[in-house]
Amino acid sequence: MNQDLSIFTLVLHASPVVQIVMAGLMLVSLASWTVIFGKFVGLKRVRQGNDGFEREFWSGRSLTELQQSSSSKPATAPLERIFASGMREFMKLRERRLDAAAQLGGAQRAMRASFQREMDVIESNLSFLASVGSVSPYVGLFGTVWGIMHAFVGLSNLQQVTLATVAPGIAEALVATAIGLFAAIPAVVAYNRLSRDIDRIAIQLETFIEEFSNILQRSAGQPAGAD
């Protein structure tokens, strides 16, 4: 007698524990895809914003003009916010007539603090993808082991066991592993790609901090308005 071994039928006939495992993995997979698309879109926006501000920064405008432009509208790029925090602290210390080393040190500390805040936002939800990639296969394997145990317990009550009686139970259990891999593989691939993109953004931000610090070092100790 032919048996319907489609995925949908196997899921419906799986044991309750295996069905819960499958449902949980599907929800996790949906959440990971939401995070993946959100991070790719967000990082693209970050790169475009950073590139746009960097072009404006090296366009020849004075630091005072750039500061006024940044303060007149909400900053849209991490690079712009780092610049604004460093410049704001630098001007504050300059007004207090502190020495050049204090001005530069204060600006660098402000930019480093801003850099860390920006990286915390950029890296948000990345650990979730790492967890999905590492845990989902084991959760799926748990569902498979439980399903196989349930299948063999059911077979123990039969007088005659054939491949036709064994196959459905084993197939139902293996679906859990398949769903676990379906959730894990995209999460791992996306995590590696996103980590590489975030590292590039971090390098861009750190390079800007060093370059801006050099400019501030030359400006430190000069009278206000001499930028």
Enclosing domain of residue 78: 7-219
Task: Using the Cα atoms of residue 192, residue 198, residue 202 and residue 203 in order, give the sign of their dihedral.
Answer: positive
Q: Which amino acid is at 53?
A: F
42 is a domain residue = yes
CB of 35 closer than 8 Å to CB of 125 = yes
* pLDDT per position as a tens digit, 47-98: 999 999 999 888 888 888 888 887 777 778 899 999 999 999 998 988 887 7
Q: What is the pLDDT of residue 225?
A: 47
Q: Looking at the domain assignment, is residue 224 inside a domain?
A: no
**119 lies in a domain?**
yes
Q: Is the pLDDT of residue 7 over 70?
A: no
What pLDDT does 16 receive? 82
Reduced 3-state DSSP string for 145-158: HHHHHHHHHHHCCC
User: What's the pLDDT score for residue 194?
Assistant: 96
Position 74 in a domain: yes
Mean pLDDT of the chain: 85
Q: How many CB atoms sit inside 10 A of residue 80's CB?
A: 22
- Cβ 69 vs Cβ 53: under 8 Å: no
Judge whether residue 160 has pLDDT over 70: no
SS3 3: coil
Q: Residue 1 falls within a domain, yes or no?
A: no
Q: Please report the sign of the dihedral spanned by the C-alpha atoms of residue 126, residue 128, residue 130, residue 132.
A: negative
Q: Count of CB atoms within 10 A of residue 79's CB? A: 26
CA of 146: how far to CAs of 18, 87, 162, 205, in Å? Answer: 7, 61, 21, 49
Does residue 99 form part of some domain? yes
Residues 140, 148: Cα–Cα separation, whole Å? 12
Instruction: Indicate the residue type of 118.
Output: E
Within-domain flag for 92: yes
pLDDT greater at residue 173 or residue 159: 173
CA distance 87 to 98: 15
In a domain, 225, yes or no: no
Which has more confidence, 160 or 144? 144
Residue pointed to by tokens 């801006």: 212
Report the pLDDT averaged over residues 179-188: 94
Binning pLDDT at 50, 70 and 90, where does residue 136 land? very high
**Average pLDDT, stretch 102-123?**
94
pLDDT, position 226: 47
Say how many domains are in the chain: 1
